[in-house]
């Protein structure tokens, strides 16, 4: 029996994507996505909790995320979880768990408007074909398994 490693997030970008290039000129984008949950606690008070998720995109997906996405945008992200480890400057082992994106789609126009139910969300990118934002995404996982961190303590 095989296993499944799949993550789907719908949330808002907490900051503009950070696009950098590896030593081999491979584009990599780091995104910070907030997801929120609302519930009523036992005292009848409405409570909202927010979780932050680290997302990394590679190649054309990274370049287009940097070009088309910005802080506050509502996005759909599909990918897989990956945990990396490295030794920091203080010789302590560090870990980072992130979502390696395979698909990123816009769910709003970027001007505070949300997509209507009759208007499907526009895909941001197609990792496999390197397509324009208007093209539908059919993705194969072609990104590297992990990228070594720079000489900094934090790998992004």
Number of neighbours of residue 106 by Cβ within 10 angstroms: 19
Averaged pLDDT, 57-62: 96
Tell me how many domains the chain contains. Answer: 1
What percent of the chain is predicted at pLDDT more than 90? 67
- Cβ-based neighbours of 133, under 8 Å, separated by 6 or more: 64, 68, 106, 122, 123, 124, 125
Distance CA 40, CA 46 (A): 4
pLDDT given for residue 132 in this prediction: 40
Compute how many other C-beta atoms are within 10 angstroms of the C-beta atom of residue 134. Answer: 8
Q: What is the pLDDT of residue 114?
A: 42
As a whole number, the mean pLDDT across the chain is 79
The CATH number for 112's domain is: 2.40.50.140
The fraction of the chain above a pLDDT of 70, given in percent, is 70
pLDDT tens-digit map of 80-136 = 999 999 999 999 999 999 999 999 998 987 654 444 333 344 445 544 444 444 333
Q: Which residue range(s) make up the domain with 25?
A: 1-156
Residue 111, pLDDT score = 56
User: How high is the pLDDT of residue 26?
Assistant: 97
- Report, as an integer, the average pLDDT of 14-43: 96
pLDDT of 73 over the 70 cut: yes
DSSP 69-130: --TT-EEEEEEEEEEEEEE-TTS-EEEEEEEEEEEEEE-B-SSSPBPPTTSPPPBS-BTTTT
């Amino acid at each position: 029996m095989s296993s499944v490693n799949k993550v789907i997030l719908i949330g808002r970008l907490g900051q503009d994507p950070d696009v950098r290039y590896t030593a081999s000129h491979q584009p990599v984008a780091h995104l910070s996505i907030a997801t929120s949950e609302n519930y009523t606690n036992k005292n009848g008070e409405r409570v909202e909790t927010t979780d932050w998720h680290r997302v990394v995109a590679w190649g054309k997906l990274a370049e287009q995320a940097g070009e088309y996405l910005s802080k506050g945008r509502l996005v759909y992200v599909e990918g897989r979880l990956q945990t990396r480890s490295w030794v920091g400057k203080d010789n302590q082992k560090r870990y980072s768990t992130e979502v390696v994106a395979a698909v990123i789609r816009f769910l709003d126009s970027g001007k505070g408007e949300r997509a209507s139910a009759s208007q499907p969300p526009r895909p941001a990118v197609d990792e496999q074909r390197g397509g324009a934002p208007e093209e539908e995404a059919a993705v194969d996982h072609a990104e590297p398994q992990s990228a070594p961190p720079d000489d900094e303590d934090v790998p992004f």
